[in-house]
Amino acid sequence: MQQLHSLADLGRVHLMGIGGVGVSAVARLMLAQGVAVTGSDAKELPVLDELRALGAGIHVGYSAAALPEADTVVASSVVKAGNPEYDEAVARGLRILHRSEGLAATMDGHHVVAVCGTHGKTTTTSLIAVMLRGAGLSPSFAIGANVAGLGVNAEHGGGRIFVAEADESDASFLNYRPDAIVVTNIEADHLDHYGTEAAVHESFHRFADLLPDGGLLVACADDPGAWALAQRIRRERPLVRVQTYGFSDAADRRLADAAPEGGRYACQLDWGSGDSQRLTLAIPGDHNLLNAAAAFAIGLDCGLEPGTAAAGLAAFAGAARRFEFRGEAAGVRVYDDYAHHPTEVLAALRAGRSVAGDRGRVHVVFQPHLFTRTREFWAQFAQALSLADTALVLDIYPAREQPLPGVTAALVADALETDGGLVDRDEVADRIAEVARDGDVVMTIGAGDVTELGQAIVATLGTGA
């Protein structure tokens, strides 16, 4: 089992890649708990000034000479051997921790609620944190996005509960020691790390096995992978409490009658004891009602009354890049979404359909993320995107990867069964302005820099171009 580290044992901590959403969260939590923190990143970012104001000493650019006196280094996943500052830390014999190990140290002494899943974990973690904070429980939290209702992506609260988004992409969630786990779904993804879908599922099972006796597993009954995990834990770990949720009749907490309701999205949530609760959300889509049902189960386990938990969920306004409203012009609403897996894209577009209603159309600008993911899922991406009336496809956002022979965005664009196709970035706003009309919804979708196009689209629509 991976060694756990206590904050008290880490001494002075230097964080490499401190501007990233994951490492900046660790920095905020450590600073709030009195740890002496320094950090570095490749470029200047707005979050660095926020961290400086909290007491962190930060420099921009990596060099061996710039590495300050430190006892422990916490490194982002993208900082590896070959980085001069990282290599200097190795040469000095400093303790080097992965980001997840640093985050695990900040959880020490808390009741840890970890939210994992191929999709939905950011929104579900955010829902839980907003709900618990609204109920006065002052949770600590670490989330993979900024959340308007919280103000930041991480905070050290005064309560006993720590809510963490648990990232499965490189199996680093196995460094945590959760008391409660939410599993939203389990699907093939990050095959550049895992190699096979079976290895992805195995990793989630290993994570669930970290639960102590008396711990809680909350799993989606509508997802085959999460359902199979819940049933195995019930068989093999009878002292672990298991609750399932979903639209399935087999779910312990069953959702029904999902529909738009007065500008919101609502459903009825029933459970076996005959109890029932109405859930209403400001964010659309059946997938978000499922996320809210998972959060509701955690709320009850943390001692909230059903009405209090539901009120907290109703107050949630969304997380950054999760169906985030970017503006409206000429009666056309523009949203941005981080979806980068076919299941996520389909869920986002279904949410867009629900917002557009019967008369509006949906137009999507999609940017594939990673060559390996495009290679594995290009046909599924095309099928999901075909739910839109117009689908414009940008070149692949490479992130950490090098190109692969024969893998281009054209694989997706050529398989579309709707209007649109491959498009240059600088043509997007004009192309959307040509097809969008009053009542339509436009969505920019992907994990790359497609997010930057929303404002340009709103501006172009506003000029009537």
Q: Tell me the domain boundaries of the chain.
A: 7-98, 107-314, 324-463
Q: What is the pLDDT of residue 331?
A: 93
Please indicate whether residue 43 is annotated as part of the active site. no
pLDDT for the residue numbered 2: 56
Q: How far is CA 105 from CA 3, 27, 56, 412, in A?
A: 10, 12, 18, 42
- With beta carbons less than 8 A apart as the criterion, state whether 243 and 227 touch: no
Element (H, E) at 461: helix 454-463
pLDDT tens-digit profile, the chain (465 residues): 456 788 888 999 999 999 988 999 999 999 999 999 999 999 998 899 999 999 999 999 999 999 999 999 999 988 989 999 999 999 999 999 999 999 999 999 999 999 999 888 999 999 999 999 999 999 999 998 877 778 888 999 999 999 999 988 788 899 999 999 999 999 877 677 778 989 999 999 999 999 999 999 999 999 999 999 999 999 999 999 999 999 999 999 999 999 988 888 999 999 877 789 999 998 888 989 999 999 999 999 999 999 999 999 999 877 667 788 899 999 999 999 988 889 889 888 988 998 888 889 999 999 999 999 999 989 999 999 999 999 999 999 998 889 999 999 999 999 999 999 999 999 999 999 999 999 999 999 998 999 999 999 999 998 865
Integer Cα distance of 63 and 85 in angstroms: 5
Amino acid code (one letter) for 270 = D
Q: Out of 122, 124, 343, 460, which one is annotated catalytic?
A: 122
Residue 314: per-residue pLDDT: 93
For 302, the 3-state DSSP assignment is coil
Q: Out of 85, 101, 155, 165, which one is annotated catalytic?
A: 165
Please give the pLDDT value at position 271: 84
Task: Give Cα separations from 66 to 35, 72, 74, 300, 311 (angstroms).
Answer: 20, 15, 16, 48, 49
CATH of domain 107-314: 3.40.1190.10
Q: Residue 397 in contact with residue 369, Cβ under 8 Å?
A: yes
Helices (H) and strands (E) in the chain, counts: 16, 21
Whether pTM exceeds 0.85: no
Q: Is residue 121 annotated as a catalytic residue, yes or no?
A: yes
Closest CA to 461 of 316, 341, 334: 334
Residue labelled with tokens 């020691």? 177
- Out of 121, 344, 376, 408, pick the active-site residue: 121
Inter-residue contact 131 to 295 (CB < 8 Å): yes
Structure tokens at 49: 């000034």
Handedness of CA 174, 176, 180, 183 (dihedral sign): negative
DSSP E strands in 117-252: the ranges are 140-142, 154-155, 161-165, 180-183, 216-220, 241-246
Dihedral (Cα; 176, 131, 221, 195), 10-degree rounding: -40
Structure tokens at 373: 């993911």
Fold of 7-98: Rossmann fold (3.40.50)
DSSP letter (8 states) at residue 332: E
What is the rounded distance in angstroms from the CA atom of residue 228 to the CA atom of residue 137? Answer: 33
Of 3.40.640.10, 3.90.190.20, 2.30.40.10, 3.40.50.1370, which CATH number belongs to 324-463? Answer: 3.90.190.20
Residue whose C-alpha is closest to residue 175's, from 183, 166, 165:
166
125 is catalytic: no
- Helical spans, DSSP H, in 112-217: 121-134, 191-194, 197-208
Per-residue burial over 175-214, b = 16 or more CB atoms within 10 Å of its CB, e = otherwise: bbbbbbbbbbbbbbbbbbebeeeeebbebbeebbebbeee
The structure tokens 């969260």 sit at 25
